[in-house]
Amino acid sequence: MAALMNGFGSLQCKAMVHVEKGHMQASGMAFFSPVNRCAQVHISSIPHFIGAKSVSASQLRMRHKVGSIRASAASCLQDETTKYFDFVVIGSGVAGLRYALEVSKYGSVAIITKAEPHESNTNYAQGGVSAVLCPSDSVESHMQDTIVAGAYLCDEETVRVVCTEGPERVKELIAMGASFDHGEDGRLHLAREGGHSHNRIVHSADMTGREIERALLQAVDNDDNISLFGHHFAIDLLTCQSNGEIYCYGVDSLDAETQKAIRFISKVTLLASGGVGHIYPSTTNPPVATGDGIAMSHRAQAVISNMEFVQFHPTALSDEGLPIKPATRRENAFLITEAVRGDGGILYNQSMERFMTSYDDRAELAPRDVVARSIDDQLKKRGEKYVLLDISHKPREKVLAHFPNIAAECLRHGLDITQQPIPVVPAAHYMCGGVRAGLQGETNVKGLYVAGEVACTGLHGANRLASNSLLEALVFARRAVQPSIDHMVDADVDPSFAKKWARPVLSVSLRDSILSDIIEKTKQTRMELQSIMWEYVGIVRSTNRLKHAEWKISDLESEWVEFLFMRGWKPTMVGVETCEMRNLFCCAKLVVKSALARHESRGLHFTEDFPYLEESKRKPTVIFPTHIQELTWSSKPLQKQLQCK
């Protein structure tokens, strides 16, 4: 069920549990004692969260000592397919790494990432981190820019928290070794991007995300309390229910290299798994962005919000317009950062007519949703496949210094950006919606926290302001730390509990020829889904097209599932390709359902049937858990939900 809710809403959490905890010195694994009581969560319109109590380091050390005499019990129960940690982090972008580095001071941490650790949305972020670091700038100005860009759907308290705490989070990155560009005066060079009224973007040329990822991964590598598990695909969260409350105790994963199902049992789980870009055929997101975290959370009965607000970045590199075409199709579109327009880049159609001044007074510095729709309109009116972004009127040295990565990529394909305009086209870029979270990253599922693109905190509203994504990830990763520690101390899991969830069934039991057929069918189905989403749920929408998308996606999923099951696939079977397909179907349906529920045009959601803003509709879209019998395979967890003790 999708509905518009008054205010951004909140999850009020009051923990009522106390346990003893020990730490396994030899293995670094946590011991979980068998006492458990349940807490209560409800959604209301109060715009803030009741925070968890704080626990001192000395209290933590005492509780570790009290439980340590029974630590050998967990050692006897663990095996190569079951691992025990205090904290499990799903995702290795800025949010997951920053969080892990903090909670590792209080317990053992596992970071699970589906590819190489550096392969995250963070690594592809070019622009930078927005923060108030200039004396002429102010928190109020940053807040206003964020709220205006978000079409006044942002949660004001969340915006204030992020804009206020942002500068300190940036300083922490610098202290950890992240290197950002400085001006001739020795101060941080602050760039300006679309929607910002001041220069406030901290950056490292046009490879900011890569530099942040480098610094954080180096720190993680030096932390003995953090274990990093690469090429582990998170399948489903492990949950149980008691007195109407849902509790999360870890996650099942598939080790793609050994083809083994690995179960991670934890007291606290942080989802920082990124976005859903690959529900569309062209996206700036890396191949790993298949909506895994949002889909897993939906299946675990977490509340989902604002999924209709998919941000299409206005300027991805158009291979069609390059002098030398790439030899193979890119897995993800190459991003041309917002900072190019912030530095004076001008948009032209292919007749070299500047067009943004006809759409918005802010011209090229208008927010992304405005620029993307304007480009889309130009392409449709003129029957062209790309527009041109020109920065060649700026000094060559400045262009190469600020955008070395973009210059190098374009030059590889025969285009010199200091002399020629760049062919660009919109591409799916960022999900403003996601798992509904409060001011400390908490969800309605106990023990489950979210940070980064997978979360919907209320910061972005109906459209994300440029360079606010890394900022949000840093702020919420840090804010989730204390409540996570408190929950870890007070939560309790019987180690034998891990055996009660059914294990995923590996697809290796099928014949190679059948597996090949299934993988090929899944690839075709994925492309068909992406085509449906682009044609019917793209930049400009209508009720009729959205309903067509709903029917087509339903038919496509049914056909795919029938194909699998007719060839011996079981409902609990897992494979990377099929698990990703389940998640893509789940997220695509959430986007369509949310879009159909919003009867107005706001921010990134523009519909021809309701082309105007309506004040009465200025509410977030909320999707509550659905009764299990109503769900399709992609929306059901592989395991039955257990009853907590």
The continuous run of DSSP H or E covering 566 comes out as helix 543-566
Task: Return the SS3 of 400.
Answer: helix
Q: Are 134 and 443 in contact (CB under 8 A)?
A: no
The continuous run of DSSP H or E covering 550 comes out as helix 543-566
Longest Cα–Cα distance in the chain = 77
Task: Return the SS3 of 80.
Answer: coil
H helix intervals, 104-187: 121-124, 139-149, 156-175
Q: Catalytic annotation on 37?
A: no
Task: Return the SS3 of 272.
Answer: coil
Q: How many CB atoms are closer than 10 A to CB 509?
A: 10
Q: Active site residue: 98, 210, 263, 368, which one?
A: 368
Q: At what angle do helices 512-536 and 576-597 cross, to 10 degrees?
A: 20
**Could you please report the per-residue DSSP string of 600-630?**
S-BTTBEETTS-S--GGG-S-EEE----GGG
Task: Return the SS3 of 86.
Answer: strand
CB neighbour class for 54 (10 Å; exposed up to 12, middle 13-18, buried from 19): exposed
Rounded Cα distance between 388 and 353, Å, is 10
DSSP 634: G
**Could you please report the per-residue DSSP string of 330-393?**
-SSPPB--THHHHTT-EEE-TT--B-GGGT-TTGGGS-HHHHHHHHHHHHHHHT-S-EEEE-TT
* Residue 55: CA count within 13 A, CB half-sphere: 22
Rounded Cα distance between 20 and 62, Å, is 9
The continuous run of DSSP H or E covering 506 comes out as strand 505-506
Rounded Cα distance between 313 and 391, Å, is 18
**Could you please report the per-residue DSSP string of 10-76?**
EEEEE------EEE-TTT-PEEE-S-----EEEEES-SS--PPPP--HHHHHHHHHHHGGGTHHHHH
DSSP 496: G
Q: How many CB atoms are closer than 10 A to CB 458?
A: 29
Rounded Cα distance between 455 and 472, Å, is 10
DSSP 497: G
Query: Hey, which residues are catalytic here?
Result: 368
